[in-house]
Structure 1
Amino acid sequence: MIPKKIHYCWYGQGKMNDTLQKCIASWHEKLPEYEIIKWDETNTPFHKFPFLKLLYKQKKWSFITDYVRLYSIYTQGGIYLDTDIEILKDFGALLNEKAFVGFQTNLEDSIYPINSAVIGSEKGNSFVLDCLKETEKKQRLQFNAMGGPPIVSKVLIENYGLDTYKEQLLNGVKLLPTSYFYPFSWEETYTKDCIKPETICIHWWQDSWKNKKKGFKYILDSFNRKLQKTPVMLKDKLHYLLDKKSFFYIQ
């Protein structure tokens, strides 16, 4: 059974906008029996994960979150929420599942049909571990280390054989249609008609982690980040090539 814990991440010590504050207030209002855990600089075990420490130095908050969202529910169990998720009602019977995630599109409209802005699991869940390892591998071996939908979609499609858009139980993972967590897409405008009886929450697609910098300074910063990462990445690639089994920090 999934424990009544809500995990969320906030790095960089920036101020949350009104929408995010409203969303988090909805968690307290609609989920009064849940423990709400904020992951930030004070409680993230950077000392255990050198690649996260480098990402923090580079101010790549979203990449850190891509790993910690999975780490939080793998080590403690519970439900991870992005800060732009507004809760409408309790997760109810979904707490009886071993793990759950939701479609953000059907399989034809996106190569990343599954989103991880809402993801729940029991402690030590094997699906979450698979996603953790894929995220770590990408963050340590590639420059573009974006996780989230690309990771959970890859694991479910390539490893678990997902090939149909429907509510289903796949290798112990409950997959839910868009109406549950993502009643309107990032390309659509919200209307009240999108809310269905089964809708648990609304994703407001705030993109709060997006780096807004443009121009020469952004290009220079990107170049410097690659310079910082290159020697570490080459060392990690050699480690992965020689001994995949011992490569991952969480086995």
Structure 2
Amino acid sequence: MNILAIGAHPDDIEMQCAGTLALYAQAGHQVWMAIATNGNVGSPTHTSAEIGAIRKKEQEESCALIGAKLIWMDFDDEWLFNDRPTRTRFIDAIREAEPDVMFVHGPTDYHPDHRVAGQVAEDARIPASVRLVETALPYTKKIPHMFYMDNPTGLGFEPEAYVDISSVIETKREMLRRHVSQDAWIRAIYDDASITDMMDKNAAVRGAASGYGFAEGFREVKTYPRTGSFKLLPGFGA
């Protein structure tokens, strides 16, 4: 299968579903990670151009750890909107990856870029398969099954399904550790723990709720047409 996760910023996907992606990769599936914005405002010291380039390199390094292919959309951080250019780019991301399964941000996420990225991904799901919706890439014949990934720290999100990521928790940590600049930014503006510590806490909470050591939580996007089920998540329906 082809698996596509769409995140608003570099490190979003790693925080919310990298363990599940690592399990898919281990099972021989092709993983794609599409990043909507370039993270070009997240630095207390670098220029916008400098931090954007740094964050792209960090994302490339993270993807390489599980053999994921990167789709870099390069929209400006904090200025993501549900307009025609954005939807067109998201349609092409779906057409490029031809996914069977997609993971996207949910509507209860705290960050506007996250919510917009999730909504645009939902809105682009069907048009990507429509022949006369003409973009840079030909239409795909697949309509993927979609899941909402967890919110940062789990706030405002009630999972319907859990994936046991205990066996790949160190891979997930290492993917997050590649985002050095984001870790520095989070510490600078929130005076908080590292992004890896934040992830560990939520993965442990989700694990406790599901009987695993560490877990990631998901909700099915219940929309027409329904093209799959929870069995498309690793560990379900085995």
TM-score normalised to structure 1 length: 0.26
Q: Which structure ranks higher in relative contact order (CA pairs < 8 Å, sequence separation ≥ 6)?
A: 2
